[in-house]
């Protein structure tokens, strides 16, 4: 008989699987990472949004003059902001770990796991087997291999999302390398707090997953607050008397050098599959991405072993991982009646300045698939609440199938985009057509959701 009925590797979303429904199971929970609770709690979604909120307030105060409000100079007390955030998060991680240690049916191992045989792992000095495994080991920041990046003399100035939020002092200047979600959010945070921010991106489009119109508008607005440089390939990092000098080469081979106190690397994340010796238990990994291969039921290529979250998912989004965890939990408890994950309409939101939110297909994807579609666009400034905001920058864009009105995609840039997108997520997920959504319900006047209503009406389907 195996030592455990279930072993979960990873204390982030994998930890949520272990509920009272497993009270009569012998469960091993393994996590050798620095913080208990996973990336989202300690160095990802939650602390970043807790930084974004005061950043939004600071930016709103700076912008208040055009509405006749004089807010005065903005002064950010970094130590107070940081202490408020981690003064709440760190105890959550500690109490979460203590709770698991207190459970009679759960054994917590705070060390790295690696497979040594089929369904058998070595954790520190302990070796044990389990009938079933859930691999929820997450991912880690990717560190580009360029000269100087690993110089111990400058290590305290080179950061990833794991360390940048715990800086002892607010930097006067910051270089961010990357052009995705993390780059966009940290650029907003630090620029709002008064740091001189330079974003160096090797591509030509910020937020490449976004609709082109959204991405273009986002870059235009962000560039009013930070120095945004496209086509810059990281080439070197060196220490200077004042901080760091970052060397780049552009698409034409021209060299550039940028200086700042601190450097933040947001160049993607690597699945932690390579830390587990998965080949020894029959779990296959995609050679190109490093992701654990799973089927629609979140099953790996080894019987009785599931995987979820960043270690297997291309989305690397907590709400996707939460969905997958519910699927895995059900399939563990109901092996004869498995359910499948549904990734068709996984939404994204970027909590930057401005916010961006999207679900479904972009217009470029619709064209590439040869779909017959129509587009509806409405500016925030085209509805009454947008007048109140004096908004001239933001908009909602919806895409629907011509004739049927079936929603294909929705894309919003502007304040509260992450909230405004939710009814569109519901509609596209349940098959509600655009005309019924627009005409078949009340829309509170003069609330901001009218921008969604009017974008749907702009499709011209009725």
Confirm if 256 and 230 have CB atoms less than 8 A apart: no
Count the Cβ atoms, other than its own, within 10 Å of residue 318.
19
Cα dihedral angle (449, 450, 456, 458), rounded to 10 degrees?
Answer: -150
Q: Give the Cα separation of 327 and 305 in Å (integer).
A: 13
In this structure, what are the phi and psi dihedrals at residue 416, rounded to the nearest 5 degrees?
60, 25
Q: Give the Cα separation of 145 and 157 in Å (integer).
A: 16
Confirm if 108 and 97 have CB atoms less than 8 A apart: yes
Q: In terms of C-beta density within 10 A (0-12 exposed, 13-18 middle, 19 or more buried), how is residue 225 classed? A: middle
HSE value, Cβ hemisphere, 13 Å, CA-based, for 437: 30
Confirm if 148 and 154 have CB atoms less than 8 A apart: yes
Q: How far is CA 409 from CA 20, 267, 397, 416, 431, in A?
A: 38, 27, 8, 18, 12
Confirm if 11 and 32 have CB atoms less than 8 A apart: no
Does 188 qualify as catalytic in the annotation? Answer: no
Nearest 5°: the CA angle 211, 202, 370 is 30
CA 215 to chain centre: 17
Kind plus residue range of the DSSP H or E element containing 59? helix 45-62
Measured on CA atoms in the order 308, 311, 315, 318, is the torsion positive or negative?
Answer: positive
Count the Cβ atoms, other than its own, within 10 Å of residue 440.
9
Name every residue whose Cβ is closer than 8 Å to that of residue 32 and which is 6 or more positions away in sequence: 109, 110, 111, 112, 113, 123
Q: Give the Cα separation of 100 and 89 in Å (integer).
A: 17
Write the DSSP assignment of 149-188 as a string of letters: TT-TTTGGGEE-TTTGGG-SS--SEEEEE--SHHHHHHHH
State the catalytic residues. Answer: 445
């Amino acid at each position: 008989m195996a030592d455990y009925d279930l072993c979960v590797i990873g204390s982030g979303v994998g930890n949520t699987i272990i509920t009272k429904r497993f009270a009569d199971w012998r469960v091993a929970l393994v996590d050798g990472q620095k913080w208990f609770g996973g990336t989202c709690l300690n160095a990802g979604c939650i602390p970043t949004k807790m930084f974004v909120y005061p950043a939004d307030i600071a930016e709103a105060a700076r912008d208040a003059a055009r509405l006749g409000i004089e807010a005065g100079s903005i002064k950010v007390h970094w130590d107070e902001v940081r202490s408020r955030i981690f003064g709440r998060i760190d105890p959550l991680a500690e109490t979460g770990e203590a709770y698991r240690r207190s459970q009679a049916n759960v054994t917590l191992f705070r060390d790295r796991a690696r497979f040594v045989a089929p369904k058998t792992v070595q954790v520190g000095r302990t070796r044990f087997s389990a009938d079933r495994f859930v691999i929820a080991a997450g991912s880690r920041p990717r560190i580009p291999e360029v000269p100087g990046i690993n110089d111990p003399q400058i290590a305290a100035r080179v950061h990833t999302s794991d360390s940048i939020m715990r800086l002892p002092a607010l930097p006067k200047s910051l270089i961010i390398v990357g052009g995705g979600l993390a780059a966009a959010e940290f650029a907003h945070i630090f620029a709002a707090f008064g740091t001189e921010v330079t974003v160096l991106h090797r591509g030509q489009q910020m937020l490449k997953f976004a609709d082109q119109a959204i991405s273009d508008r986002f870059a235009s607005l962000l560039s009013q607050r930070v120095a945004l440089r496209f086509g810059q390939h990281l080439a070197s990092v060196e220490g200077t008397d004042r901080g760091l000098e970052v060397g780049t080469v552009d698409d034409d081979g021209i060299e550039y050098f940028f200086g700042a106190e601190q450097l933040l690397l947001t160049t993607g994340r690597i699945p932690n599959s390579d830390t587990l010796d998965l080949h020894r238990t029959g779990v296959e990994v995609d050679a190109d991405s490093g992701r654990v291969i799973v089927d629609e039921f979140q099953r790996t290529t080894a019987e009785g072993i599931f995987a979820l979250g960043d270690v297997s998912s291309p989305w690397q989004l907590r709400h996707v991982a939460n969905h997958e965890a519910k699927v895995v939990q059900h399939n563990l408890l109901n092996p004869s009646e498995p359910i499948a994950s549904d990734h068709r309409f996984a939404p994204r939101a970027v909590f930057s300045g401005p916010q961006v939110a999207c679900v479904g297909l972009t217009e470029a994807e619709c064209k590439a698939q040869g779909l017959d579609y129509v587009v509806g666009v409405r500016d925030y400034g085209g509805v009454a609440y947008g007048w109140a905001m004096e908004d001239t920058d933001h908009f909602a864009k919806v895409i629907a199938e011509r004739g049927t009105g079936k929603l294909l995609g929705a894309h919003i840039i502007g304040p509260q985009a992450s909230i405004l997108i939710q009814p569109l997520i519901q509609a596209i997920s349940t098959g509600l057509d655009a005309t019924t959504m627009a005409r078949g319900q009340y829309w509170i006047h003069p609330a901001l959701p009218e921008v969604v209503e009017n974008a749907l009406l702009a499709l011209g389907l009725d």
